[in-house]
Amino acid sequence: MTSHQSTQTMKPATAAKKLGVYLEATPAEFREGAVSRAELNALQADPPQWLRDLRRDGPHPRPVVAAKLGVSISGLARGGITEPLTTEQIEALKQERPEWLERERATQAEVRKEAARVKKRNAERAERTADGH
């Protein structure tokens, strides 16, 4: 039995998510065809101008907006942000510092602190178990 390498492809939405860009803002030729793993790797290694522009200026998908604002995706929704934002809009929000953004940033900081505490506790437990105690 001979094995042959099949070309793995993904939907444009999956490729856009992996590239961290908003699908609707990508060129039509990107949205209309399947993207192979090799094409995705090439886009990541040497992004064309349209991809560099999208990453720099947006509009950005919600996960990117959330990361740039330092909040969760749920926090964006609670703050009323349901649409993609441009870099300019994100920077304006950072300057305005609306109450919801400050609250969500504080919540996110607490979540991170708790996650770090749990990770440390689990590491200590694993260490004790490995030591045979």
DSSP string computed for 88-121? HHHHHHHHH--HHHHHHHHHHHHHHHHHHHHHHH
Place of tokens 């509009």: 59
Residue pLDDT tens, the chain, 133 long:
444 455 788 999 999 999 999 999 999 999 998 999 999 999 999 999 999 999 999 999 999 999 999 999 999 999 999 999 999 999 999 999 999 999 999 999 999 999 999 999 999 998 888 876 6
Q: What is the pTM of this model?
A: 0.76
